Amino acid sequence: MEFWFTEKQTEHLGLSVRVHKSLLIEQTPFQKLAVLETYQYGRMLVLDGAIQTTERDEFVYHEMIAHVPLTTHRRPGEVLVIGGGDGGAVREILRHSKVRRVRLVEIDDRVVAAARRFLPGLSQALDDPRAEVVNADGAEYLRTLPGACDVIIVDSTDPVGPAVKLFEADFFRTVHDALAPEGLFVAQSKSPYLDRGLIRDLLGIVRSLFPVALLYTAAIPTYPSGLWSFVLGSKVHHPLTFDEGRAEKLETRYYSPEIHRAAFVLPREIRDELNQAQ
């Protein structure tokens, strides 16, 4: 007998993955949480039916959400992650020796517990002495930290359930205020093929708040359409003027100085529609 999990990416499109074993299925106070052992991608974390991360392709997303902002900032000492309870982004952030502290603010502590139990390759980073896990609402928590962060990384779910407000203008104003004068942030912003309207709106919000506002992409096999995007907002530093030496020295599988630069080059139609000139 075969068991398949399907993420319904749109009304008319799904990605199906054959499941070897279901390791955990739980209704938390915030969302439905599952950890599945799959043949193709290893262990897979699913929230409300959406694939969050898999053992085999998580490195692409986590390297790209962490190293692009951290090599753009000259001295990233204080880093804050919103969401990302699996620990993958924190693991990559900790590769930067300039980072003194990384705080992970996760609203759903069941996600952290599931990752600690089933995804040690990601969650082990949370035990590092420089890492701190805070169980709180990220948007509320940020309000208590004016000007305190060098880099903020929004590693949220898609805008459903608890993450809806993390895609609204008010939240990005809070992010702006929580950043130090040279601060910058990155937020996951869904698929350039399937979510163009959302990305256009987000970029509009970020452009109204930050002098540098750009979109970059990465190829992630298990996310809808396979091409994923990140929006970056920065008070001073431009991501194409970054520390290439530091980028080259990082131990990575996807990220490199060349990938860093190339990620900001958008397919023509998307570039024109978003009016993104580098």
The residues of the shown chain that bind ligand AG3, judged by CB under 6 A, are 7, 50-53, 84, 86, 88-89, 155, 157-158, 188, 223-224
Residue (58 or 150) nearer to ligand AG3, CB? 58
Residue (52 or 237) nearer to ligand AG3, CB? 52
The active-site residue out of 86, 155, 158, 195 is 155
Question: Per-residue b/e over 80-119, b at no fewer than 16 CB within 10 Å?
Answer: bbbbbbbbbbbbbbbbbeebeebbbbbbbbbbbbbbbebb
CA distance linking residue 228 with residue 194, whole number of Å = 10
Q: Reply yes or no on whether 86 is catalytic.
A: no
In Å, how far from its chain's centre is CA 265? Answer: 19
Residue 74: CB minimum distance to ligand AG3, A: 26
Residue 83 backbone phi and psi in degrees, to 5:
80, -145
Residue 209: CB minimum distance to ligand AG3, A: 22
Q: How many CA atoms lie within 13 A of 77 on its CB side?
A: 5
Residues 6+ apart with CB under 8 A from 104: 80, 81, 84, 85, 87, 89, 90, 126, 131, 132, 133, 134
Residue (84 or 233) nearer to ligand AG3, CB? 84
Residue 78: CB minimum distance to ligand AG3, A: 20
Give the residue at shortest CB distance from ligand AG3: 50
Residue (88 or 233) nearer to ligand AG3, CB? 88
Q: Which residues are designated catalytic?
A: 155
